[in-house]
């Protein structure tokens, strides 16, 4: 898949670095190669994981309807990087669905 053509891309089975460092540092390093990293009300980086008594639906293992993160920002992020640190049979939920909103808008014209 091409990020430039489809607006979404994946990178699977990346190699572990020779020197361990936090996952945020890994994704931050990639993000810094693309452009400036914009801090949010959640911080520059944050963990999205299931927690007891969540304050946000992102912290559950429930499926989320299609949505745009941080749409309430005056300048929402143009690119968002998600880094799945753990993915095995013990993980419940976390599926992602994407839609080409530009194609939808074009078909609605």
Average pLDDT rounded to a whole number, residues 68-83: 81
In degrees, rounded to 5, the angle at the alpha carbon of residue 67 between the alpha carbons of residues 83 and 2 is 50
Q: Which residues pair with 63 in a beta bridge?
A: none
Average pLDDT rounded to a whole number, residues 18-28: 68
Q: What is the pTM of this model?
A: 0.66
The whole-angstrom separation of Cα 30 and Cα 11 is 12
In whole angstroms, how far apart are CA 4 and each of 57, 64, 92?
29, 25, 31
For residue range 39-72, what is the model confidence (pLDDT) as tens digits? 887 778 877 778 899 888 878 888 888 888 888 8
* Residues 25, 16 contacting (CB under 8 angstroms): no
In degrees, rounded to 5, the angle at the alpha carbon of residue 38 between the alpha carbons of residues 33 and 44 is 95
């Amino acid at each position: 898949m091409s990020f430039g053509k489809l607006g979404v891309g994946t990178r699977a089975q990346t190699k572990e670095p020779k020197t361990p460092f936090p996952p945020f540092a890994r994704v931050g390093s990639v993000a810094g190669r693309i452009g400036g990293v914009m801090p949010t009300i959640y911080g520059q980086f944050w963990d999205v994981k299931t927690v007891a008594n969540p304050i946000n639906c992102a912290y559950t293992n429930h499926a989320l309807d299609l949505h745009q993160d941080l749409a309430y920002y005056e300048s929402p992020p143009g690119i968002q990087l998600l880094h799945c640190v753990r993915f095995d049979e013990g993980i419940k939920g976390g599926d992602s669905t994407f839609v080409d909103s530009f194609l939808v808008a074009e078909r609605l014209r």
